[in-house]
């Protein structure tokens, strides 16, 4: 069987001409049969892609060879196939939309704390651990005792910082999936007067490999076909409940009704009974998709063209 890898990475750097960089990068990914989502901005690159092991290794080597990305770190996970249907390379204002365009993490950001050290200090009474991710992410998994916020998008995080006033003099450690959101989130905390700000380097994913994910409850939401990934190999716990019967369940599925498409935990029994739908109503919906036990419905690739988005000329 062929061996695939999933790469998760970001790099804050300066890309002078994102348009021409994007064009070259997009072609390069097509030529090397890579799929996934890559965001390019003047402030850097943020991506999650999959491909054959040799293609991914070439990608990492070539990207690191570019001085702008010499310091880039890749979170690498083996997988049995591509984890994406398509290749999508886009230019945006920020590599993660935060509304904090004025912050340049290459100039100011929280200090890195490595997974092993994080494991040792996170339960200290003078340490505050902050999950900067959104509801759909921390609802299925987060660190024990971490503070999380009722937010639907990362851009809503800055507004929540005022709820943390009382911790200004404590040691504060932020974390997210792979580390990219923390670069600006931690910088913003510093800007708001927090004195001792750290960020979990490489996020939950790297903590999973390097510290066996100890004390991470539930699963880690990921942005590929897997939907969520296992992190904790030491003391795993299920924290989410089946959307239908309310038993402990961390099996995330998409509702089989395409017009609902709700992304929720549904246990095996309920999924079978409701044919992959999240409710009786969705089960009876005329457009309901056939359920094959996965609860994931790849988008139809009719007319998909990896060259789309590349301007001719
Ligand atoms: Zn159930
Ligand atoms: Zn539904």
* pLDDT at residue 313 in the model: 40
223-248: average pLDDT: 92
Ligand nearest to the CA of 243: 1
For 106-126, the pLDDT digits (tens) are 999 999 999 999 999 999 999
State the distance from the centre of ligand 1 to the C-alpha of 272, rounded, in angstroms: 9
**CA 257 – ligand 2 centroid, Å:** 6
Q: For residue 154, give both structure tokens.
A: 């990362």
Q: How far is the CA of 288 from the centre of ligand 2 (A)?
A: 9
pLDDT of residue 311: 59
More confident residue, 269 or 228: 269
Q: Which ranges constitute the DSSP H helices of 37-194?
A: 53-65, 115-121, 135-138, 157-160, 180-191
> Does the pLDDT value for residue 251 go beyond 90?
no
CA of 246, nearest ligand number: 1
User: Is it the case that residue 1 has pLDDT exceeding 80?
Assistant: no
Task: Compute, in angstroms, the gap from residue 254 CA to the centroid of ligand 2.
Answer: 8
pLDDT tens-place string over residues 50-85: 999 999 999 999 999 999 999 999 999 999 999 999
Greater confidence (208 vs 305) lies with: 208
- Percent of the chain having pLDDT more than 90? 86
Q: What is the mean predicted confidence (pLDDT) over 139-168?
A: 96
- Say whether pLDDT at 193 is over 60: yes
Percent of residues, the chain, with pLDDT higher than 70? 99
Is residue 157 a contact partner of residue 138, using CB atoms and an 8 Å limit?
no
Cα–Cα distance list, 35 to 4, 298, 302 (Å): 11, 14, 17
Ligand (nearest to CA of 253): 2
For residue 250, the CA-to-ligand 1 centroid distance in Å is 10
pLDDT surpassing 60 at residue 247: yes
CA atoms within 13 A on the CB side of 239: 20
If one compares 31 and 308, the residue with the highest pLDDT of the two is 31
Distance 241 CA to ligand 1 centre (A): 8
Average pLDDT over residues 204-233: 94
Please tell me the number of the ligand nearest to residue 251's CA: 1
What pLDDT is recorded for position 227? 82
Q: pTM, whole model, 2 decimals? A: 0.88
DSSP letters for 111-134: EEE-HHHHHHHTTSTTEEEEE-S-
Q: Who contacts 225 (Cβ-Cβ below 8 Å, separation ≥6)?
A: 82, 83, 84, 85, 296, 298
Token representation of residue 242: 């089946």
Mean pLDDT calculated for residue range 136-156: 95
Indicate which ligand has the atom closest to the C-alpha of 264: 2
CA of 287 to the centre of ligand 2 (A): 11
Residues with Cβ–ion distance below 5 A, ligand 2: 255, 257, 260, 262, 278, 282
**92's tokens:** 């945006």
Q: How much is the average pLDDT of 169-176?
A: 97
The catalytic site residues sit at: 176
Ligand 1 centroid from CA 93, angstroms? 41
Instruction: Say how many Å lie between the CA of residue 262 and the centre of ligand 2.
Output: 5
- Banded pLDDT at 307 (limits 50, 70, 90): confident
**Nearest by Cα to 151 from 160, 143, 142:** 160
> Which residues hold their Cβ within 5 A of ligand 1, which is an ion?
242, 244-245, 267, 270
pLDDT value at residue 305: 81
Q: Using 50, 70 and 90 to split pLDDT, how confident is the model at 228? A: confident
């Amino acid at each position: 069987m062929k061996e695939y890898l999933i790469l998760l990475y970001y790099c804050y750097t300066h890309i002078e001409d994102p348009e021409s960089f994007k064009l070259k990068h997009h072609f390069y990914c097509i030529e090397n049969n890579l799929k996934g989502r890559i965001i390019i901005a003047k402030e850097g690159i943020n991506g999650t892609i999959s491909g054959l092991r040799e293609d991914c290794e070439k990608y990492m080597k070539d990207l690191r060879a570019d001085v702008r990305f010499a310091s880039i770190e890749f979170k690498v996970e083996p997988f049995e196939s591509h984890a994406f249907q398509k290749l999508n390379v886009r230019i945006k204002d920020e590599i993660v939309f935060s509304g904090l365009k004025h912050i340049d993490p290459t100039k100011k950001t929280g200090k890195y704390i490595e997974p092993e050290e994080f494991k040792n200090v996170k339960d200290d009474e003078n340490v505050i651990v902050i999950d900067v991710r959104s509801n759909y992410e921390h609802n299925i998994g987060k660190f024990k005792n971490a503070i999380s916020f009722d937010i639907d998008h990362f851009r809503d995080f800055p507004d929540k910082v005022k709820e943390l006033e009382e911790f200004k003099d404590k040691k504060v450690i932020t974390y997210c999936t792979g580390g990219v959101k923390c670069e600006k989130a931690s910088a913003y905390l510093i800007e708001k007067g927090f004195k001792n700000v750290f960020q979990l380097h490489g996020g939950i994913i790297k903590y999973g490999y390097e510290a066996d994910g100890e004390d991470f409850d539930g699963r880690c939401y990921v942005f590929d076909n897997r939907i969520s990934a296992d992190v904790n190999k030491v003391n795993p716990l299920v924290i989410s409940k089946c959307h239908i019967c309310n038993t402990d369940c961390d099996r995330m599925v998409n509702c089989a009704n395409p017009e609902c498409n709700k992304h929720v935990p549904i246990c095996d029994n309920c999924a079978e009974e409701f044919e992959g739908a999240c409710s009786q109503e969705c089960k009876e919906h005329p457009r309901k998709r056939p359920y094959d036990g996965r609860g994931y419905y790849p988008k139809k690739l009719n007319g998909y063209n990896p060259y789309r988005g590349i301007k001719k000329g």
